[in-house]
Amino acid sequence: MAYVIPIGVILLLIVHFYKKAQRRKVQPFPEHWHGLLLDNVLYYRNLSKQRQAVFQQRMMQFLSEVYIDGVQLELQELDKILIAASAVIPVFGFEEWHYTNLSGILLYPDNFNEDLQFSSKDKSRNIGGIVGNGRFEKQMILSKKALYHGFKNQSDKNNTGIHEFVHLIDKLDDFTDGIPERLLEHQYTIPWLKLIHKEMEAINANKSDIRNYGGTNEAEFFAVATEYFFERPDLLKRKHPELYRMLVDCFRQESRVLEKEPFKKPIF
């Protein structure tokens, strides 16, 4: 779908490309961020102290590689923390990860419409995040409202930040098609597609507790199912054991064994 990009957004994206050319050093992790993570990110809170230290390093690495700017808002520390956590969580099972298909993120104060406008008078503001295409490749736009909601409500199986980063992971092979080829070994592609289509049929027949948006297409199913996987892993395991196991294999992590399992290398 095409979007009419406001001129202010275009200028900010141009600034992103310029800034990206300037390499930045990885900054030390601010000690007080530990408390903010404990208060706001359940995934982090459930890690051992050793894994929390690794998570902190991965966050700072991400923040050194991607520029984040606010649109009609002043960026707060918690904004950066939640964005970085959204990026690290789905790839934390891997020894090392760089989002090579992302250079900048714009944070809007609220949800926006298809024209990327967020006027309070516009009732069509129902988009919480998008990953750019074409001339806006390597860019992401997130709604601060949606980002925060994803971490505050830990029982609704929704997390906009994780959702958008999963689209980026999916897109690493240049196709956003619900088949994460960088994560999924080739022999599992056909079984994965069969499982996706079976689950989508159940969603569209109102016979599934997976969010309806997951029935839109394969890419949205992958992102929505991953939100569920990281937000309510035990529930997903009980209600959708086959899907749960496939996602465990895909992301190389399982909530019950995350503390003991070694980090894996992605499939490149």
Half-sphere exposure of residue 264: CA atoms within 13 angstroms, side-chain side? 19
Q: What is the pTM of this model?
A: 0.87
Mean pLDDT score of the chain, rounded to an integer? 87
Two tokens, residue 84: 């970085």
Does residue 7 surpass a pLDDT of 70? no
Contact 150, 226 (CB under 8 A): no
**pLDDT at residue 111, as a whole number:** 86
Domains of the chain as residue ranges with CATH: 7-251 (3.40.390.10)
126 pLDDT tier (thresholds 50, 70, 90): confident
Rounded CA separation 267/33 (Å): 32
Tens of pLDDT, residues 224-235: 999 999 999 999
CB-CB neighbours of 70 under 10 Å: 16
Whether the predicted pLDDT of 115 surpasses 80: no
- The whole-number pLDDT of residue 98 equals 96
Instruction: Taking residues 51-59, report their average pLDDT.
Output: 98
The values of phi and psi at residue 18, to 5°, are -65, -45
Span 185-224, pLDDT tens digits: 888 999 999 999 999 999 999 999 999 999 999 999 999 9
> What are the φ and ψ backbone dihedral angles of 223, each rounded to 5 degrees?
-70, -45
For residues 90 and 264, the model is more confident at 90
Is residue 12 scored above 70 in pLDDT?
no
